[in-house]
Amino acid sequence: MEVKIGVQYAARELVLESAQTPAEVEQAVTEAMAKDSVLTLTDEKGRKVIVPIAKVAYVEIAESSTRPFGFTTR
């Protein structure tokens, strides 16, 4: 699953591929907002991304899209 995090005053968003479910990511965001703490997510390779929730502008949760490869017809 792909997670995009918009950070205030940053020109680019953070993008990570996570093995967590959309419900788990939503719960992590909600808990971080309730506690006014940090948002901690883990990507597919086991790396942790930690963002202060006060600096988060938005969080976009989307299923990973499979890209076509080779010669395809549409």
CA dihedral 43, 46, 52, 55 (to 10 degrees): -20
What is the per-residue pLDDT across 28-71, written as a single tens digit (0 to 9) for each? 999 999 999 999 999 999 999 999 999 999 999 987 666 666 66
Find all residues with CB under 8 Å of 14, minimum gap 6, and list them.
4, 5, 7, 49, 51
- Which CATH fold would you assign to the domain 1-60? SH3 type barrels. (2.30.30)
Q: What are phi and psi of 62, to 5 degrees?
A: -145, 150
DSSP 6-57: EETT-SS-EEEE-SS-HHHHHHHHHHHHHHT-EEEEE-TTS-EEEEEGGGEE
Task: Enumerate the domain spans of the chain.
Answer: 1-60
pTM above 0.75, yes or no: yes
How much is the pLDDT for 63?
79
